[in-house]
Amino acid sequence: MPRPSRKCERFFEGHSSPHSVLCTDSAPGYGRLASQLDLEHKVIPSGKYMKGIYYIQHINVFYSNFKAFLQKFRGVSTKHLNSYLKWFKWIKLFKDEKELLKIQKTYI
């Protein structure tokens, strides 16, 4: 992976607390981002998904599922990406609920 862009750095600025940990795969570039944002950096070795209590697979699964969700739309506008994220979260949150409960919770 190339080094994280300035846009990525701006995304994280102000959204992490002083004791946050940046947990990444072993791709280069994340170390610089972690040091610029003054974060502890835990690297998961290549081919692994866990190192001690640090587990990266949650993000990979989320990304894979979200990508599959978006494929139904044959491309989405980044302008509306936040709405798609909310829709995806709503579907995952209530996937095991009965239809009537979903409707009730939507209005609450």
Q: Which of 18, 39, 55 is the last residue of a domain?
A: 55
Q: Is residue 98 part of a domain?
A: yes
Q: Is residue 51 part of a domain?
A: yes
Q: pLDDT at position 1, please?
A: 46
Predicted confidence (pLDDT) per residue in 27-71, tens digit: 777 888 888 888 888 888 888 877 878 878 877 788 898 889 988
Does residue 37 contact residue 56 with C-beta atoms inside 8 Å? no
Closest C-alpha to 39, from 85, 4, 89? 4
How many residues are given for the chain?
108
Do 65 and 36 belong to one domain?
no
Average pLDDT over residues 12-22: 80
End-to-end Cα separation, the chain, in angstroms: 43
Do 50 and 62 belong to one domain?
no
User: What domain count does the chain have?
Assistant: 2
The rounded mean pLDDT for the chain is 79
| Least confidently predicted of 6-20, 30-44, 54-68, 92-106 | 92-106
Q: Which domain holds residue 36?
A: 6-55
d(CA 43, CA 45): 6
Q: Is residue 102 part of a domain?
A: yes
Q: pLDDT at position 82, please?
A: 87
